[in-house]
Amino acid sequence: MQTANQALDVTVLGAGRMGSALIRAFRAAGRSVAVWNRDYGKAEALTPIGVQPFKDIGEAVGASSLIVVCVSDYATSSDLIAALAKAGAISGKTVVQLTTGTPAESEDFAQALDRAGARSLDGAIMAYPKQVGENACRILLSGEQAVYDRVAPILNALGRTMFMGARPGAASAADGALLFYSQATAFAYFQSAALLMAQGYDWDGLADLIGGNEITADSLKSWEAAIASGVHTGSEATLDVHYAAFKSIVAAADASGSRHPLMSAVESQFERAVALGHGGDELSGAFETMRPGRAS
């Protein structure tokens, strides 16, 4: 049903893998949710959980005062917000940007929203879609403290919100640092598993030997199962999505003169995995570029 100008709790722009997870978590917390997605079918598919899908982005934004954006990249979200600003649809709204990007993009985005008469927070989701809504899912947010205080009670439906500071780029900067750490660690795990496999030693207890916190242990176990089966399909985050986020980290490192050989090594692992056709796999698809005897 398409009904504009209703006072729903939140509008979500983007119903991809992560956007859908955010929407489900808001609904699970009892929040009323308006949804817009470029491919309307994905928004409509969420009607069984009680969301209101909109074909028109302006009507979706008109349905609530809190707008959460989660699309592929900042170029996309900036285009969407620019069109809304031109139509006068974003003034007076509070926009929470949960798309991955660089700190510089966050700063630019916050300024564009300020010029359009909107308040904003820039954020980063430190989890996979299946973890959204759990306490283990951290949502890093930066911007005006008063805005954070006002919207945190609603955003708490997504996980554990953490205020990172007033600079709009602060959440994105922390996201890049944590993401590079976890991606580099993932490739280190794939290399370690390949090393054990190539020597003919047990490799499938490695995840338990490494252990780690809840999210790390869960990832390791799912990668172990994917490596064992050779099947890397899933519904969390594609290697392409990881690589896009990684490119933002590299851009921030290059801009700040802090790229070192380790980052370049991880970059070439991503390039190789994508070149060999694993972009649509989950991250563990990169292991196939290292599998002893038949790396592809």
Which member of 29, 184, 196, 237 binds ligand NAP (CB under 6 A)?
237
The span of 16-24, 113-121, 137-145, 283-291 binding ligand NAP (CB under 6 A) equals: 16-24
Binding of ligand NAP by 129 (CB under 6 A): yes
Pick the closer one to ligand NAP by CB: 15 or 81: 15
Three-state DSSP state, 165? strand
Binding of ligand NAP by 17 (CB under 6 A): yes
Alpha-carbon Rg of the chain, whole angstroms? 20
Pick the closer one to ligand NAP by CB: 62 or 159: 159
The span of 17-25, 188-196, 204-212, 222-230 binding ligand NAP (CB under 6 A) equals: 17-25
How distant is the alpha carbon of residue 166 from its chain centre?
21
56-69 burial, b at 16+ Cβ within 10 Å, e below that, comes to: ebbbbbbbbbbbbb
The one-letter code for the residue type at 70 is C
- Which residue in this structure is represented by tokens 């390791």? 220
42, 15 in Cβ contact below 8 A? yes
Binders of ligand NAP: how many residues, by CB under 6 A?
23
End-to-end CA separation in angstroms for the chain: 48
Residues within window 23-42 making contact with ligand NAP, judged by CB under 6 A: 37-39, 42
Question: Taking the CA of residue 26 as centre, how many other CA atoms within 13 Å lie in the half-sphere pointing to its CB?
Answer: 28
The span of 67-75, 153-161, 218-226, 252-260 binding ligand NAP (CB under 6 A) equals: 67-75
Binding of ligand NAP by 70 (CB under 6 A): yes
Instruction: Using CB under 6 A, list all residues that contact ligand NAP.
Output: 14-19, 37-39, 42, 70-72, 76, 99-100, 125, 128-129, 236-237, 241, 245
